[in-house]
Amino acid sequence: MNTEHSYFTYAWVSFAHNHLYYRKFRIVRKTKAPVDKSKRYVIIVSNHQNSLNDAMGMVMAENGTKVWFLARADVFKSKIASFFLNIYGVLPVYRVRDGLSNVKNNLEIFDNVEQMAIRHCPIAIFPEAKHQNRHYLGPFYLSYTRLAFSIAERLEFKEDVYILPMANHYSDYFSLRPDLLMTVGEYISLKPYYELYKQNPRLAQNELNEKVRTSVSQMMLDIQEEEHYQDIYDLLSCYGVDYAVKQGVNPDDMYQKLGSDKQIVAKMEAEKLRNESNFEHLCQLSHDYGSLLSSAKINDKSVRKVRGISFLVLQTILLLLLFPVALAGWMHHAVAYLIPKYLSRNMKDKFMRPSVDLVVTIAITLPLTYIGFAILYGTVFHCWWIGLLSCPVIMLSGLLADEWMRACKQWLRGTRVQRMKIRRQRQWEQLLKVRKQLVSDMNTLMES
């Protein structure tokens, strides 16, 4: 979102993005800008996991400062997408696969981008040149380093140009109202590389790229182990909670949990090099435990915190009492959330679906929903302030409906655990045995 284009909508977009679309949205900053934002020359670089959602997170991290993005030209094929992307400052970059005749257009685009950067407009680039379908960092292309040094050349190497690393971390890519953590790293100055660049441009770009990529990797969940990726990732949702608590970390704090998760990933990847058989053993335990959870249709939280029958009965009563409010919340928001899902259902690239959900929900369906119901209730009750008051009430009911659904799912898993303990005791004991073994062996690894 670029405030120069749509300053009057930014307040709504930031609120809807930070509090309605995401359940939890948090920004962590490693350091302040070395110079005033209005006077800096900066290129923002981030990992790419969730298409347009990543870009929106970066804009929120920049507090609405106008940011120009460079994106693959193929996302501009749709006229609707092209319209919105142009409005919000996204420029196309052509690749060889887009045709050599189109690649020539990059010269003009990069020239315009450099001029914008010299006018202190931040430029944002995803050097992986594609969004990933897992929590890992792919190789970086050097286009952003060429752009950065080209800006420095235009400034005759008299001014400092900065790279600002960022990293995003999602709790989930496709669920309704996931969590998003944006970590803003330390500014990386190009000045120390100026002399090297004058002598050997390629070497300077490679050294800068290595530093930038390392910085991004250190701020995100970067699981490079491809063969056992899912086993390691599943390990973080079960043992990861135990380890976080053991380290005095709040597992519900996304930033703190990310730090402890990174320790587990580092240990596992190191163990593969040191003792591959033990690494395979731990991955197998994680796989077995995950399979048992999946077959029982429960999650690790319901195993760690087994709810007694009396608690489940009380929870049932509370859920029933709150059902009318939750139902009202869903009835008011159903169309707003279902239309984007319907529009994106047939997209081949499933990681473009959240982008459609984000844009359509925030820019179209949610505001139309609140405006529509405000007019409806204002007309029905012949009172304009009742119409206005209905907006926050409907909004709160929607948030409660989402929490009600989450509580229902956990209640359902809790009842399945109780049924499993009574009817399938051997399977329950096997599940606990595998988990106990997994936690014990992982503790041994982490303490080694």
> What is the percent of the chain where pLDDT is above 70?
91
More confident residue, 66 or 218: 218
Residues 142 and 62: beta-carbon distance below 8 Å: no
Residue 352 belongs to a domain: yes
More confident residue, 106 or 135: 135
Residue 441 lies in a domain: no
Q: Are 250 and 195 members of one domain?
A: no
Residue 281 and residue 313 in one domain = no
- How much is the average pLDDT of 92-98? 65
Tokens of 118: 């010299």
**Rounded Cα–Cα distance for residues 223 and 242 (Å):** 20
Asked whether residue 279 falls in the same domain as residue 314, the answer is: no
Tell me the per-residue pLDDT of 41-94, one tens digit each, with 9 for 90 and over: 999 999 998 888 898 899 899 887 788 887 766 666 666 566 666 666 777 776
- Do residue 57 and residue 201 come from a single domain? yes
Q: How many separate domains does the chain show?
A: 3
Which runs of E-coded beta strand occur in 154-313? Answer: 162-170, 179-184, 188-189
- Note whether 115 and 164 are same-domain residues: yes
- 410 and 263 belong to one structural domain: no
* Cα–Cα distance for residue pair 322/332, rounded to 1 Å: 16
The pTM of this model reads: 0.90
The residue length of the chain stands at 448
- As a whole number of angstroms, the distance between CA 196 and CA 78 comes to 43
Q: What is the CATH number of the domain that holds 86?
A: 3.40.1130.10
pLDDT, greater one: 32 or 419? 419
- Quick one: 375 and 335 in the same domain? yes
Torsion angles phi and psi, residue 424, rounded to 5: -130, 60
Determine the Cα–Cα distance for residues 197 and 78; give it in Å rounded to an integer: 40
Q: The tokens 């999602």 sit on which residue?
A: 170
Residue 352 is encoded by which pair of tokens?
């473009």
Q: Residue 304 domain-assigned?
A: no
How far is residue 215 from each of residues 72, 89, 304, 387, measured CA to CA in Å? 24, 26, 35, 49
* Residue 42, SS3 per DSSP: strand
In the numeric block, the tokens 């909670």 are attached to 241
432 Cβ contact partners less than 8 Å away, ≥ 6 residues apart:
303
Determine, yes or no, domain membership for 446.
no
Is the same domain home to 46 and 127? yes
Co-location of 153 and 180 in the same domain: yes
- Lowest mean pLDDT: which of 121-135, 185-199, 419-433? 121-135
Confidence at 101, pLDDT banded by 50, 70, 90: low
Given a cut of 70, is residue 98 above it in pLDDT? no
Closest CA to 263 of 285, 248, 281: 248
Per-residue pLDDT at 427: 94
| Helix, strand or coil, per DSSP, at residue 70 | strand
Let me know: does 169 contact 258? Beta carbons within 8 Å.
Answer: yes
Half-sphere exposure of 353 (CA within 13 A, CB side): 19
**Cα separation of 414 and 283, whole Å?**
27
Contact in structure between 17 and 182 (CB atoms under 8 Å) = no
CA distance 94 to 73: 5
Q: Which pLDDT value is given to residue 104?
A: 64
Nearest to 264 by CA among 281, 283, 240: 240
Coil vs helix vs strand at 175: coil
Q: Report the DSSP beta bridge partners of residue 162.
A: 42, 189
User: Is there a domain that residue 323 lies in?
Assistant: yes
| Mean pLDDT score, 122-127 | 91
Does 47 lie in the same domain as 111?
yes
The whole-number pLDDT of residue 157 equals 95
Helices (H) and strands (E) in the chain, counts: 17, 8
Residue range(s) defining the domain that contains residue 350: 309-432
Domain shared by 244 and 98, yes or no: no
User: Strands 162-170 and 179-184, how do they pair?
Assistant: antiparallel
